[in-house]
Chains A and B, each alone.
Chain A
Amino acid sequence: MALQPTDTKNPDYFHKVVDCQWACPAHTPVPEYIREIAAGNYTDAYMINWRSNVFPGILGRTCDRPCEPACRRGRVEEEPVAICRLKRVAADNKDDIRARLPSAPARRNGKKIACVGAGPASLTVARDLAPLGYEIHVYDGEKQSAGMIRSQIPRFRLPESVIDEEVGYITAIGNIELRLGRRIESLKALLAEDYDAIFVGSGAPRGRDLDIPGRKEAAKRIHIGIDWLSNVSFGHIHHIGKRVIVLGGGNTAMDCCRTARRLGGEDVKVIVRSGFEEMKASPWEKEDAMHEGIPILNYLVPKAFTHANGKLTGVTFERVAAVYDDKGRRALKPTGEPDEHYECDDVLVAVGQENAFPWIERDIGLAFDKWDMPQVDPVTFQSTNPKVFFGGDAAFGPKNIIWAVAHGHDAAISIDKFVHGQSVADRPPPMVTLVSQKMGIHEWAYDNDISADLRYKVPLVDKDVALKDVRTEVELGFDKKLGYAEAQRCLNCDVQTVFSAPLCIECDACVDICPMDCITFTENGEEEDLRARLNAPAQNKTQALYVSDALKTGRIMAKDEDVCLHCGLCAERCPTGAWDMQRFTLDITHADHRCQTR
């Protein structure tokens, strides 16, 4: 069957073209704020971020950046735009933003919300609800706010001042009371208080242990990674042995090894079971660790902790190799080579973390699934006890800050609806606008000249200086000049190529000028067939084909969105205005917009 014309009225169609925004769990309008950075409007860029992701300064240093692997630039040349670090440019260079922040209304709405945990998910809920007149109590067992942001992310990656600043913007709204140092030991008891709804954002606080021989005997020098990191963050631990082995291949392992290097570890190694490529850690975190002289050894499965006289002496490993079965599933099979022993003074175990809900009673109408996780609706974040909502790592296991923020926004919408007796399943649609960027015959309201620059590296503090103090921030961040140059690499994918079939005279001008051969005029057909016979076959099936109505000759216009540079040349060369460049804005509706008409 021939393809139907693309329904560009569906907000998802153009949203998907903005790969970064689509990939961001909080749907941050990335190109929009990058343009503000290029224009030197750092404050505006910051506020765009603040609205979407609440913690621009924190995320600009620590985000797991799902946007970057999605970035179209990475398909056009080698590397994506450094979106994450541009966010930091906005945070570093902004003016005082306090006047632009919302504040709680003088009259409260009479509803009280408890948030369990003072991490990113709870703080997002508080930020979204406080301006609506809610009274919000945020509980945390620790004496300080921000949850894992403060406890697990090392100071050399994220200075405390940035955390204090951005948590401060939230508490300054008003009606938010941080009840720190008060661990909730019973949900039942909390439910018995007069809260209208409870949000659980208590994270995934339990680090997985490694139960192999020698664990008990050598316990004194074997540490659980996330606990050790938080002890370092809170100033309880200042030193580690000279020789350190970090077990595990995720981002926590990378934080552990780099922290160890700063606390006296001279010979620090990361040893992982899997292959180097399959490690869970983000590529840039591995790169940063190796830059600090930390080798990563792979295909070694820990077998036993060795010890003498109650003191850890090292770890024995079995060497394995990846073997694939017929279905392509991987198994790690011992190679039969002799076991390898690595000596060390300390071991940091960073092999994963888990949720823990010993404080949630099982007789309060809150159902748990077979993995002993609470049953949470993936859209509304409501549990089976309608008054209790979950978000962040507490909802679906360990993810990262940006996911916690996205969960927080959605849970806040649900809570707001729930306490007002509305259906939580009824979600507000996003606000979508398309505005032509045409200023003159060949002038556009955006900079359509495509920069050919390759990705800029973020300048670092000299390694010798960085490794001396765990509190010295290792990344200097882009300065304004580098930030501008990097911002210019953005392709402005939110400035959409919008086609109007009735205006087209099929002159081929757009086809001839398109640098990426995105546009084809041809007979309609089935998608597979059509993809194969475009001027440049559309091999990337994750990217849409933009298909027009039938034109005068009976043909259709088919545009492969995959590698479009959004340079606007199709629209510049179009004699009839059948192509136009239109800026797409998608405003994800948050709870704080419930009462507003826009």
Chain B
Amino acid sequence: MTYIAKPKFRHPDLEPNARGFTRRDYEGKVSTLCAGCGHDSISAAIIQAVYELDLEPHRIAKMSGIGCSSKTPDYFLGASHGFNSVHGRMPSVLTGANLANRDLIYMGVSGDGDSASIGLGQFAHSIRRGVNMVYIVENNGVYGLTKGQFSATSDKGSKSKRGVVNHDAPIDMVGLALQLGATYVARSFSGDKAQLVPLIKGAILHHGAAFIDCISPCVAFNNHDGSTKSYDYVREHNEAVNRLDVITGRAPIKLDQEPGTLALVQQHDGSTLRLRKIHADYDPGDRLEAMSYLAQRAAEGEIVTGLLYVDPEAQDHHDYLGTVATPLNQLQSEDLIPSASALDKINESLR
């Protein structure tokens, strides 16, 4: 870890956003992760995305479980709400928090151990219920905190740092998320912020369960030859299907691309997802096609990245349950305690 605090000085030309905050204002403490950890880049991407969206820090709640990835909420959005739950239980805690106060933006940060092993059930149900959240798995395919055992997302045939071959089949978090009904599904790479930042922005603006599987190399235990989650391997096998720009507000959008190479997706909140297609045939609106395409490419050894699926008309669990719009902590006693006449009315109906 680094002993000195990151100096408060910032570049004199650093622009404040519409809220008057510079990007530096969204930082957290200095990371205690290993130098070069992909997770730190994801933290930086989250900072960049929130800064660009002009969000106020106090409107965001960061939730996490246990693991290297789950430590990271300490290293970004230092002025936001946060909750570090027990191992694998982040999705449940997030679901509860969201039910109690739907006004906040929920960001669940987890890892492959936290979400694909101990917390797989929690993960599945939070996605299945359509909790309005950004769920980011910082996926390095290894148990870094316990010195490099394979995790449930390690590819079959990949090698550990000590040369041991993994024989277990991997869990594909993106495939699961699609199958379980996530309405915004993306995969990205910590070493490609140009791709990652807009995907996080789109996920934050998405109304519904947004899931991002972010490959994040573990420099200490999973960045060697034979690893399928190393910087070099991911760069070589990365197949981006599209490039996303997120346009907030309802400003007219200019098309400066050749027809057929650009798709515009209008989201609930009025923001627009502008997708520059790299694979012309790929349609991120078709869930079944996405599932089969991903399976095909995975069989070829490719890592498909980009915005893989989005349902712009998605609903969340509040919509399904018809819950009260006001956060529970703002409900007054008159809302919570029915009057005598209301009781009479109920009693009357049961007579």
> Which A residues contact B (CB, under 8 angstroms)?
75-77, 442-443, 448-450, 452, 505-509, 511-513, 515-518, 536-537, 539, 552-553, 563, 565, 567, 569, 572-576
Q: Which of A450, A552, A576 contacts B232 (CB 8 A)?
A: A552
Number of interface residues of B (CB under 8 A): 36
Q: Which of B14, B34, B43, B223 contacts A505 (CB 8 A)?
A: B223
Residue with the highest number of chain A CB atoms closer than 10 Å, among B1, B2, B8, B14: B2
Closest-CB distance, A254 to chain B (whole angstroms):
31
Task: State the CA gap A539–B4 with chains docked (Å).
Answer: 29
Structural contact, B6 and A452, CB atoms closer than 8 A: no
Structural contact, A573 and B2, CB atoms closer than 8 A: yes
Task: State the CA gap A568–B11 with chains docked (Å).
Answer: 16
Chain B positions within 8 Å of A507 at CB level: 36-38, 41, 191, 217, 219, 231
Dominant SS at the B interface?
Answer: loop
Structural contact, B2 and A553, CB atoms closer than 8 A: no
Known: A76-B9, A512-B41, A537-B13. A505 touches B36 (CB 8 A): yes
Task: State the CA gap A518–B14 with chains docked (Å).
Answer: 12
Chain A positions within 8 Å of B232 at CB level: 505, 552
**0/1 string, B114-138, CB within 8 A of A gives 1:** 0000000000000000000000000
Task: State the CA gap A19–B193 with chains docked (Å).
Answer: 33
Known: A450-B7, A507-B41, A512-B43. A563 touches B1 (CB 8 A): no
Known: A506-B191, A509-B37, A515-B10. A449 touches B231 (CB 8 A): no
Q: Closest 10 CB pairs between A and B?
A: A575-B36, A450-B7, A512-B44, A507-B36, A536-B11, A449-B4, A575-B35, A575-B219, A508-B41, A509-B36
Known: A508-B193, A512-B40, A536-B14. A452 touches B8 (CB 8 A): yes
> Which B residues contact A (CB, under 8 angstroms)?
1-14, 24, 30-31, 34-38, 40-41, 43-44, 190-191, 193, 217, 219-220, 223, 231-232, 235
Chain A positions within 8 Å of B9 at CB level: 76-77, 450, 452, 515-516, 563, 565
Structural contact, B219 and A517, CB atoms closer than 8 A: no
Closest-CB distance, B347 to chain A (whole angstroms):
63
Chain B positions within 8 Å of A575 at CB level: 34-36, 219-220
Closest-CB distance, B339 to chain A (whole angstroms):
56
Chain B positions within 8 Å of A574 at CB level: 35-36
A-B contact pairs, 11 of them (CB 8 A): A442-B3, A449-B5, A452-B9, A505-B223, A507-B191, A509-B36, A513-B6, A517-B14, A536-B13, A565-B7, A569-B4
Closest-CB distance, B13 to chain A (whole angstroms):
6
Task: State the CA gap A318–B9 with chains docked (Å).
Answer: 48
Chain B positions within 8 Å of A516 at CB level: 9-11
Structural contact, A509 and B6, CB atoms closer than 8 A: no
Closest-CB distance, B240 to chain A (whole angstroms):
14
Task: State the CA gap A77–B12 with chains docked (Å).
Answer: 8
Structural contact, B35 and A515, CB atoms closer than 8 A: no
Task: State the CA gap A73–B223 with chains docked (Å).
Answer: 39
Task: State the CA gap A552–B231 with chains docked (Å).
Answer: 11
With A516-B10, A517-B11, A572-B2 given, name 5 new contacts (CB 8 A).
A75-B12, A443-B3, A508-B44, A513-B2, A565-B7
Chain A positions within 8 Å of B193 at CB level: 508
Closest-CB distance, B29 to chain A (whole angstroms):
12
Closest-CB distance, A437 to chain B (whole angstroms):
14
Structural contact, A539 and B231, CB atoms closer than 8 A: no
Task: State the CA gap A390–B348 with chains docked (Å).
Answer: 114
Known: A517-B14, A563-B11. A576 touches B6 (CB 8 A): no
Closest-CB distance, B32 to chain A (whole angstroms):
11
Taking CB as reference atom, which chain A residue is nearest B4?
A449
Taking CB as reference atom, which chain B residue is nearest A536?
B11
Taking CB as reference atom, which chain B residue is nearest A448?
B4
Task: State the CA gap A61–B321 with chains docked (Å).
Answer: 78
Chain A positions within 8 Å of B40 at CB level: 508-509, 512-513, 573
Taking CB as reference atom, which chain A residue is nearest B1?
A442
Task: State the CA gap A257–B184 with chains docked (Å).
Answer: 75
Closest-CB distance, B15 to chain A (whole angstroms):
10
Task: State the CA gap A537–B4 with chains docked (Å).
Answer: 27
Structural contact, A509 and B10, CB atoms closer than 8 A: no
Chain B positions within 8 Å of A506 at CB level: 191, 231
Task: State the CA gap A443–B4 with chains docked (Å).
Answer: 10
Taking CB as reference atom, which chain A residue is nearest B43?
A512
Structural contact, B35 and A573, CB atoms closer than 8 A: yes
Chain A positions within 8 Å of B41 at CB level: 507-509, 512
Taking CB as reference atom, which chain A residue is nearest B75?
A512
Chain B positions within 8 Å of A515 at CB level: 6-10, 24
Structural contact, B36 and A573, CB atoms closer than 8 A: yes
Taking CB as reference atom, which chain B residue is nearest A577?
B35
Taking CB as reference atom, which chain A residue is nearest B5?
A449
Taking CB as reference atom, which chain A residue is nearest B3?
A442
Q: Which of B2, B5, B12 contacts A442 (CB 8 A)?
A: B2
Taking CB as reference atom, which chain A residue is nearest B220?
A575
Closest-CB distance, A545 to chain B (whole angstroms):
15
Closest-CB distance, B39 to chain A (whole angstroms):
10
Chain A positions within 8 Å of B4 at CB level: 448-450, 567, 569
Closest-CB distance, B24 to chain A (whole angstroms):
7
Closest-CB distance, B69 to chain A (whole angstroms):
16
Chain B positions within 8 Å of A565 at CB level: 7, 9
Task: State the CA gap A419–B35 with chains docked (Å).
Answer: 58
Task: State the CA gap A507–B11 with chains docked (Å).
Answer: 22
Task: State the CA gap A512–B37 with chains docked (Å).
Answer: 11
Chain A positions within 8 Å of B12 at CB level: 75-76, 563
Taking CB as reference atom, which chain B residue is nearest A508?
B41
Chain A positions within 8 Å of B43 at CB level: 512
Closest-CB distance, B174 to chain A (whole angstroms):
23
Closest-CB distance, B72 to chain A (whole angstroms):
12
Closest-CB distance, A490 to chain B (whole angstroms):
14
Chain A positions within 8 Å of B3 at CB level: 442-443
Taking CB as reference atom, which chain A residue is nearest B6?
A515
Closest-CB distance, B196 to chain A (whole angstroms):
10
Task: State the CA gap A516–B5 with chains docked (Å).
Answer: 14
Taking CB as reference atom, which chain B residue is nearest A450?
B7
Chain A positions within 8 Å of B10 at CB level: 515-517
Task: State the CA gap A517–B31 with chains docked (Å).
Answer: 17
Closest-CB distance, A65 to chain B (whole angstroms):
23
Chain A positions within 8 Å of B5 at CB level: 449
Known: A516-B9, A539-B13. A508 touches B35 (CB 8 A): no
Q: Which of A511, A539, A552, A567 contacts B7 (CB 8 A)?
A: A567
Structural contact, A509 and B35, CB atoms closer than 8 A: yes
Task: State the CA gap A507–B215 with chains docked (Å).
Answer: 12
Closest-CB distance, B44 to chain A (whole angstroms):
4
Taking CB as reference atom, which chain B residue is nearest A513?
B6
Closest-CB distance, A85 to chain B (whole angstroms):
23
Task: State the CA gap A567–B3 with chains docked (Å).
Answer: 12
Chain B positions within 8 Å of A508 at CB level: 40-41, 44, 190-191, 193
Taking CB as reference atom, which chain B residue is nearest A505?
B231
Chain B positions within 8 Å of A509 at CB level: 35-37, 40-41
Task: State the CA gap A536–B23 with chains docked (Å).
Answer: 12
Task: State the CA gap A575–B191 with chains docked (Å).
Answer: 14
Closest-CB distance, B48 to chain A (whole angstroms):
10
Taking CB as reference atom, which chain B residue is nearest A567?
B7
Chain A positions within 8 Å of B223 at CB level: 505
Chain B positions within 8 Å of A518 at CB level: 11
Closest-CB distance, A513 to chain B (whole angstroms):
7
Task: State the CA gap A431–B178 with chains docked (Å).
Answer: 64
Task: State the CA gap A515–B47 with chains docked (Å).
Answer: 14
Closest-CB distance, B21 to chain A (whole angstroms):
15
Task: State the CA gap A184–B34 with chains docked (Å).
Answer: 72
Closest-CB distance, A499 to chain B (whole angstroms):
15
Task: State the CA gap A450–B30 with chains docked (Å).
Answer: 15
Task: State the CA gap A512–B11 with chains docked (Å).
Answer: 14
Closest-CB distance, A445 to chain B (whole angstroms):
14
Closest-CB distance, B186 to chain A (whole angstroms):
19
Closest-CB distance, A22 to chain B (whole angstroms):
21
Closest-CB distance, A77 to chain B (whole angstroms):
7
Chain B positions within 8 Å of A573 at CB level: 2, 31, 35-36, 40
